[in-house]
Amino acid sequence: MDYFSFSLIGIALSQYVWRGLICFLNKSRREIQNGAMETFYLSAWPFPWVLLVSSLGDFIAATLNALVILGVGVVCFGADLHWQGAVPLAAVFFLTSLAMGGFALLASAWMIAFKRANNVRGLVLRAIPILSGSFFPVYLFPGWLKDITFFLPITHALTLSREILVPSGAAPLGPAWAALGGLAVVSLLGGWMAINASVQWARSQGGISAE
């Protein structure tokens, strides 16, 4: 794969961090600071579910941004991408949205419990796209860093997207599908439990009304 196509797909998938996750964290930070998050706590729906639904628009926008970036790369710059795999690519985008939604719950739990957002946002904004291999292959990383990249959903989403859009047949994609799906499930479950625990902690500390 030429580097332009490699980085183009990396930038497109990074929208799930830059346009999806970061926008959601910015919105959560504003709601925590102005007290609007209190209304979510009192909703009849489970609080993690309310947060996930509120993030739906951010991840739909991230998907649209990713498609626009890929389209511009093809039309304006001649990127040689294959679109026959539209269905599996849509599945990749869907699983990536679920997985990053789980990460959004985990980050929101941190902000609710400790009222600190800048360090979380900075880490997410800079680290995830780089470590996931958006701009250069993860095999260039040292061994211990490769182990960390395995736990980032974007890593596997990039592997799948690059093989779907620029097929090479170099490696089986089953492990990447399994990893992305597994991380989506684990991050959602972990985020759900973390949000509930953070709310209980904040209530015990008087940060949230128990009513």
CA nearest 163: which of 176, 145, 151, 149? 176
Buried b (16+ CB within 10 A) or exposed e, 53-83: eebeebbeebbebbeebbeebbeeeebebee
Per-residue pLDDT of the chain (211 residues; tens, 9 = 90+): 789 999 999 999 999 888 777 777 777 777 666 665 666 666 667 767 777 787 788 889 889 999 999 999 999 998 888 877 889 999 999 999 999 888 888 888 877 777 665 566 666 777 888 889 899 888 888 888 888 899 999 999 999 999 999 888 777 789 999 999 999 999 999 988 988 888 777 677 665 544 4
What residue spans define the domains of the chain? Answer: 3-204
pLDDT at 183: 94
pLDDT at 40: 62
pLDDT at 209: 46
pLDDT at 35: 63
pLDDT at 5: 92
The CB density around residue 10, as the number of other CB atoms within 10 Å, is 21
Q: Tell me the pTM.
A: 0.84
**Is residue 95 within 8 Å of residue 159, measured between CB atoms?**
no
The two structure tokens encoding residue 148 = 């960390």
pLDDT at 178: 96
Contacts of 65 (CB under 8 A, 6+ apart): 12, 15, 19
DSSP the chain: --HHHHHHHHHHHTHIIIIIIHHHHHHHHHHHHHTTHHHHHTSSS-HHHHHHHHTHHHHHHHHHHHHHHHHHHHHHH------TTHHHHHHHHHHHHHHHHHHHHHHHHHHHHH---HHHHHHHHHHHHHHTTSSS-GGGS-HHHHHHHTT-HHHHHHHHHHHHHS----S-SHHHHHHHHHHHHHHHHHHHHHHHHHHHHHHHTTSS---
pLDDT at 210: 41
CA atoms lying within 13 Å on the CB side of residue 125: 12
pLDDT at 208: 53
The CB density around residue 111, as the number of other CB atoms within 10 Å, is 22
